[in-house]
């Protein structure tokens, strides 16, 4: 049954690792804003690299 002691220490270590990861993520500012990133993600596909694509884009909106 002494395997319990080993298992408990492993479980605490693993959970502690997650806690540390959580604290680090808070520290890095991931929880400062929980809305904007969800919108920002949508902009990644919309970088018109070619200037000629812009007018086309505009006519589309018009309709």
Partner 1 sequence: MTDTMLTSQTNCFHCGEVCGKETIMVNEKKFCCEGCKQVYLLLNENNLCVYYDFEKNPGIRAKGKFVSERFAYLDDKSITEKVVQFSNESQTNVTFSLPQMHCSSCIFLLENLHRINHGIIKSQTNFQRKEVFIIFNPQNISLRKVVELLAFIGYEPNINLGSAIIKKKINFNRQQIYKIGVAGFCFANIMMMSFPEYFSSGKIEQAGLKETFTWLNLALSLPVLFFSASGFFISAWKGLQQKFLNIDAPIALAILVTYSRSYYEIIGGHGAGYLDSGTGVVFFMLIGRWFQDKTYESFSFDRDYRSYFPLGVTIINNSIEKNIPVTQLKKADRIVIRNEEMIPADSILMKGNANIDYSFVSGENTAVQKNKGELIYAGGKQIGSAIELQVAGEVSQSYITQLWNNDIFKNEKNEEKSFIHPWSRYFTLALFTVAAVTLIFWWVEDPTKILPAVSAVLIVACPCSLLLSSTFTYGNMLRIFGKNKMYLKNANVIEALSKINTIVFDKTGTITQNNDSQISYEGSPLTERELIALKSAAKQSSHPLSKIVASSLLVDEEKIIAVEEFKEYTGKGLEALVNGVNIKIGSASFFNRSDPALAPFGNGTQVNVMMNDVYMGKFNVSNQYRDGIKKLIKSLQKNNFDLWLLSGDNNSEKENLSKIFGNTSNLKFEQSPQQKLDFIKKLQDNKKTVLMLGDGLNDAGALMQSNVGVAVSDNTSRFSPACDAILDGNNAAMLDKFLAFAKSGKRIVAASFVLSILYNIVGLSFAVQGILSPMVAAILMPASSITIILLVTLLSSVSASFKGL
What residue ranges bind partner 1 (CB under 8 A)?
1, 4-5, 8, 11-12, 15-16, 18-19, 22-23, 26-27, 29, 31-36, 39-40, 42-43, 46, 48, 51, 54-55, 57-58, 61-62
CA 62 – CA 55 distance, rounded (Å): 11
Instruction: Find the angle CA(45)-CA(33)-CA(25) to the nearest 5 degrees.
Output: 95
- For the bound state, the minimum distance from the C-beta of residue 38 to partner 1, rounded and expressed in Å, comes to 9
| Residue 39: CB minimum distance to partner 1, A | 5
Secondary structure E strands in the chain: none
């Amino acid at each position: 049954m002494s395997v319990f002691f080993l298992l408990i220490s492993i479980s605490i270590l693993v959970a502690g690792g997650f806690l540390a990861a959580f604290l680090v993520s808070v520290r890095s500012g991931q929880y400062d804003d929980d809305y904007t990133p969800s919108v920002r993600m949508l902009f990644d596909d919309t970088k018109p690299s070619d200037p000629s694509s812009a007018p086309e884009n505009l006519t589309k909106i018009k309709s």
